[in-house]
């Protein structure tokens, strides 16, 4: 089974800190995604990467950046954390569209609290 | 553009049926369905492609009406294990890499 691992389950950071959320997948998937999940709003796409070193903005990229230096690892960076970035962050991966397995595989999430 | 899901929440007794709807204002290429149990990652249930096909996963099935840009998820003879939040994810074009997710429908199945 594909596994997507997020390095931290819970994080507490101070306002203004630079925060790194790490995500690693072990099935050689081309596409990787970062979503944030908030009650009543569902999952909203922050950034995605369709290949190594390639990235595109999602629907809510402000205040975030990403890095994908290796195929298996996709990092989300909060340049200067703010309280409105307190949320659950979910990483996902999938094989390139057109291959047999289409569904996303999600990590267990990182619950980030910014104080 | 996020699809709209309805209802927001539903409470069922074991053995009852329910329908969850997902609609978009844009033409869709495919619809995904996921279930997330409390404190866990969302899990992929099924994908429906343009063409009006129907799919099933256990006693959970779904349909996709591309003309109406909507999909429905059918929970039949619900079991306690069906409890969770169900999300639809939509893709507008064949070359799109990303999914847009609805706000979710929370399903509670009681004994």
CATH number of the CATH domain containing A78: 2.60.40.10
Pairing assessment for the beta strands A19-25 and A4-6 based on DSSP bridges: antiparallel
Partnered with residue A54 across adjacent β-strands are: A51
Q: Which of B67, B33, B36 is nearest to B48 (CA)?
A: B33
* Tally of domains within chain B: 1
Residues of the domain holding A102: 4-114
Residues of the domain holding B87: 4-110
B52-82 pLDDT tens trace: 566 666 789 999 988 889 999 999 999 999 9
Residue from the list A56, A102, A109 with its beta carbon closest to the beta carbon of B47: A102
> By percentage, how much of chain A surpasses pLDDT 90?
76
Q: Which two tokens stand for residue B25?
A: 């204002």
**In this structure, are residues A22 and A29 in contact, taking their beta carbons and an 8 Å threshold?**
no
To the nearest whole Å, the CA of B13 is away from the closest chain A CA by 24
* Chain A residues within 8 A of B42 when measuring between CB atoms: 43, 90, 104, 106
* Tally of domains within chain A: 1
The pair phi, psi for residue A93, each rounded to 5°, is -140, 160
| Pairwise CB contact (< 8 Å): B98 & A44 | no
Q: Is B13 exposed, middle or buried (0-12, 13-18, 19+ CB in 10 A)?
A: exposed
CA distance A92 to B63: 25
CATH number of the CATH domain containing B36: 2.60.40.10
The pair phi, psi for residue B72, each rounded to 5°, is -130, 140
| Pairwise CB contact (< 8 Å): A104 & B99 | yes
- Per-residue pLDDT, averaged over A88-115, amounts to 85
To the nearest whole Å, the CA of A43 is away from the closest chain B CA by 6
* Chain B residues within 8 A of A88 when measuring between CB atoms: none
Residue from the list B34, B97, B104 with its beta carbon closest to the beta carbon of A31: B97
A14-59 pLDDT tens trace: 999 999 999 999 988 889 999 999 988 999 999 999 888 889 999 9
| Pairwise CB contact (< 8 Å): A42 & B103 | yes
């Amino acid at each position: 089974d594909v596994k997507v691992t997020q390095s931290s389950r819970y994080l507490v950071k101070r306002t203004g800190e630079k925060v790194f959320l790490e995500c690693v997948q072990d099935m050689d998937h081309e596409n990787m995604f970062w979503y944030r999940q908030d009650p009543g709003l569902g999952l909203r796409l922050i950034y995605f990467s369709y290949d190594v070193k390639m990235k595109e903005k999602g629907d809510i990229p402000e205040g975030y950046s990403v890095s994908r230096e290796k195929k298996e690892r996709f990092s989300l960076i909060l340049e200067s954390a703010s309280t409105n970035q307190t949320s659950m962050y979910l990483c996902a991966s999938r094989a390139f569209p057109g291959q047999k397995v289409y569904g996303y595989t999600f990590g267990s999430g990182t619950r980030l609290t910014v104080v | 553009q996020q699809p709209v899901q309805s209802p927001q929440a539903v409470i069922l007794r074991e053995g009852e049926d329910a329908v969850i709807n997902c609609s978009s204002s844009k033409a869709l290429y495919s619809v995904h369905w996921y279930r997330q149990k409390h404190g866990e990652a969302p899990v992929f249930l099924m994908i429906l492609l343009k063409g009006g096909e129907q799919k099933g996963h256990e006693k959970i099935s779904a349909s996709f009406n591309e003309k109406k840009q909507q999909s429905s998820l059918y929970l039949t003879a619900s079991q306690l294990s069906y409890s969770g939040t169900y999300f639809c994810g939509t893709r507008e074009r064949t070359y799109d890499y990303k999914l847009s997710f609805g706000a979710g429908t929370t399903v509670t199945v009681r004994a």
